[in-house]
Amino acid sequence: MQPEQGQGTHAPDSPPGGPTPPPSGEPEGIQRPALRSQPSGQAGQQDSRVFRLPGALVAWWAWVVVAVAGLADLAVSGRDHISVEIAVILVLITGVAYACALRPVVIADGDGITVRNPLRDHRIPWGSVTGVDMKESVQVHCAEPVAPREKVIYSWALYAPRRSRIRAEVLEQRSQARRPQQRYATNDRLPPEAQRLTRQPTAQIMAAQLDEMARNARDRGASAGPPIATCAWQPALAILIPAIALVVAIKLIP
């Protein structure tokens, strides 16, 4: 006996030609987010990545503590001309530390690289970056439309002494010579590539990351353009104003 019309009948789970129902627990019309992030320069552009050495920040904040303590002591006990000169010198050194330690940084975003040095900023689109490598400091190689050779921009933020790089090369050669007979217990669980990275200077690792980002951007067809250099007036004023004040304090104030 067949059920009456409208009673006891069930719609098919997937009607022919109809839309596929959403997964259980998700309301209809809501799309699940993609698991893979979209590349830079497209919708959903990745955030900027900042590259700098931690030692520069440590040196900056250590000097800030010394300068604040010195200025506080001069404000309490200093009442003569020498105290004024010492206070101005502390401010001048703080301006130099800001320009040389805190300000230098390399910023990579979806459109290109910004190399921020003490007194100048360089902006290079990804399409013009031909490579990033490491000498005494990180070097950004960029092509210019009218220049016969590529331009090299040096970063004050990312550097490695020659001794550190030679030491990393020696450790790598020794590691290859004794592998697989002898391995450090702390690195037994790391793949060979990760073990090699742990022996490299931090700036060299960052240079490799920037170079990979540049290659990926060129493969996606990133736009090219001439590198743009601009002067930075904030650190210049942070040095120039205390320097003028020091000259005035020495020459004009009796």
Task: Read off the pLDDT of residues 200-236 as tens digits, 9 standing for 90 and up.
Answer: 788 889 999 999 999 999 999 999 999 999 999 999 9
Token pair, residue 120, equals: 């100048």
Token pair, residue 184, equals: 């450090």
Q: Which residue has the higher pLDDT, 194 or 38?
A: 194
**Cα atoms found within 13 Å of the Cα of residue 17, Cβ hemisphere only:** 0
Task: Report the pLDDT averaged over residues 237-250.
Answer: 94
Confidence (pLDDT) at 252 = 73
Q: What is the pTM of this model?
A: 0.68
Q: Match 């990579």 to its residue by tokens.
A: 108
Q: Match 């090369």 to its residue by tokens.
A: 169
Is the confidence at residue 193, as pLDDT, over 70?
no
- Give the pLDDT band (50/70/90) at residue 160: confident
- Give the pLDDT band (50/70/90) at residue 59: very high
| Residue 180, preceding peptide bond in cis (omega within 30° of 0) | yes
Strand partners, 133: 139
Token pair, residue 58, equals: 């440590």
- Give the pLDDT band (50/70/90) at residue 123: very high
DSSP state of 22: P
Sheet strands side by side (includes 129-134): 129-134, 137-142, 151-159
Task: Report the pLDDT averaged over residues 108-119.
Answer: 95
- Report the amino acid identity of residue 192: P
Report the percent of the chain where pLDDT is more than 70.
65
Is the confidence at residue 185, as pLDDT, over 50?
no
Q: Which range in 63-77, 135-149, 183-197 is most confidently predicted, on average pLDDT? A: 63-77
Token pair, residue 96, equals: 């130099």
Q: Match 């552009």 to its residue by tokens.
A: 45
CB 109 within 8 A of CB 211: no
